[in-house]
Each structure stands twice: as structure tokens, then as C-alpha cells.
Amino acid sequence: MAEITASLVKELRERTGAGMMECKKALTETAGDIDAAAEWLRKQGLAKADKKASRVAAEGRIAVAQSEGKAVLVEINSETDFVAKDSNFLAFAEAVAQAALASGVQDVEALKQAKIASGETVEEARAAVVAKVGENVQVRRMVRVDSANHVAAYVHGGRIGVLVELKGGDMELARGIAMHVAAMNPPYNKASDVPAEFIAKEKEIELAKMSEKDKAKPADILEKIISGKLNKIVSENTLYGQPYVMDTNQSVEQVLKTAGADVVGFKRLAVGEGIEKQADDFAAEVMKQAGLA
């Protein structure tokens, strides 16, 4: 059995990020074998991860990786914004994005089994991060674009990420469009992409909002009024119809036409969208504990 020295404990701490007492116990359990101790801690980390898996992880970061014609975005969640800024979490997010790009995987389940630069799988590395930061950490979503066209990736503040595939034009325009999508979040690309169900619903709403006097107008005039309102709604909900954030005097469509370019498609991720966050009422909690509620 190797002697469990302070330097050995220190080395294991630096290697795993675990606490001093946990490292000492791991070395004792494994007769001073540092590799076995690291594995022992990993197994303990997995157990902790399971206990934290039910916690809501709605904070986090959008990580990006890109090379010629290829780009990926990965949403990685934590429970708090504090952990989302932790160096261990940030390093993990970067490693996962690079693994997603290099492996060519198309979905999160496949990504979990991809290996990061250290040789660990993404899932193994995730469990290790959970052990270090003490929070539930989840690799939630990923999107990728592989194309011979211009592919721009833009991440705003670590919380909103966009990929844009642009045919024609140049990378500067592609990046500008990506920034526009990040800011304006258009649900659709072009008018032709808007579902008929969406149009029908909006038409129903506009008719319901109209006065009885307007509804009594001749059918052709009424149709023109409704068409005008629907065209405006479609423009507001499509990338091509929106005023371009870099030059609001022009629509995105006008800018693209001038450049002889076409947006093939775009993908947008925002941290925590679609996750139901728990709203804590701290005042009520204090009163409850004090027996006042």
C-alpha cells in the first residue's frame, strides 16, 4: 500500500476537483492507487449526479464550435447562473461543443457517448462536473449545420446561439443575419414557410377584432383589409419580412436581394426556453418556517 501523503492528496484534488477529505478517503479505499482513487471518486460522482437529476436545471450556457462549413450549438444547463459561470462548467461546455463538432453526431443521445479531448465520454465528464459543482448539469439540446454554403455561428452573452446557412453573399452578411435572428427571434424564414394553420388562426383573430361596421363592407373590400393585416403579421413573423437590425430602413429580404443571397435556413437556441422554472417566494418561505403562514 502506497503511503497516503499530503502531496498525493493534493495531486488527486487537482486531478479530480474533489474535496480534500473525499480524496483522502478515496486513496484509503484504493490502497493509495491514484488512478483507482480517481475512478472511485468518479463512481461517487455518478451516485451524486443521480440524486441531483430531478432538480430543475434552467440556467446554463450555449456553447459553440465551428470549422470550415460546419458549426454546432449545444445547450448545457445548470441549476443556477452562478454555476453557469464556474470555470469547471465553462470548460465542460467548451469540450462538449468541440466533441459534437468533431464526432459528427446529430443528436444529444449520440453526443453523450462521444469522447471529449481527455478521452472521457461526454456523459462521464458531465458526472464529474456534477460532483465538482454540486448541481444538476444536463446536456439538453444540440443543433448542427454542415454545408458547402456560408455557415455563420453567433452566440450572444452565452445565452442565445444562432446558426445561419447562407447561399451567396459573404460571411459578413451571414454573421449579420445570425445577429438579427438572435435579436428578433423570427419563428419562420420566409412567407412560404408559414403554416396554413397559423394564417387561418390569425385571420380568425383579425375578423373577431373587427367592428360590425367593417364586417358589413363588401366581400372584396373586406378581403383586402384582412389580407393587408395578414401580410403585416407574416412579415413580423418571418426573417425575410422583418426590418434588418443592421439597417432598419431595409427588410432582410431587400438586403439579401441586393447581395444576391438567400438564407437556406437558421437554427436558434436560448438557454432554458421551454423549461418550467420554479418560482421561489422567499418571503412566504420565511413566514412558513417562522410559523406565521
Contacts of 251 (CB under 8 A, 6+ apart): 235, 240, 241, 242, 243, 244
Residue 44, pLDDT above cutoff 90: no
Given a contact cutoff of 8 angstroms between Cβ atoms, the answer to whether 136 and 100 are in contact is no
Beta strands in the chain (DSSP E): 59-67, 70-78, 138-146, 150-156, 160-167, 243-244, 247-251, 262-270
pTM: 0.74
Task: Please state the φ and ψ torsions of residue 117, each to the nearest 5 degrees.
Answer: -60, -30
More confident residue, 39 or 85: 85
Mean pLDDT value across residues 101-130: 94
195 burial (CB, 10 Å; 0-12 / 13-18 / 19+) is exposed
Q: In whole angstroms, what is the distance from residue 153 CA to residue 146 CA?
A: 12
Residue 190, pLDDT above cutoff 90: yes
- Per-residue pLDDT of 254-292, as tens digits, reads 999 999 999 999 999 999 888 766 544 445 544 554 555
Given a contact cutoff of 8 angstroms between Cβ atoms, the answer to whether 96 and 105 are in contact is no
Given a contact cutoff of 8 angstroms between Cβ atoms, the answer to whether 64 and 153 are in contact is yes
Mean pLDDT value across the chain: 87
Delineate the domains of the chain, giving CATH numbers in brackets. 6-52 (1.10.8.10), 56-146 (3.30.479.20), 150-186+244-275 (3.30.479.20), 195-236 (no CATH)
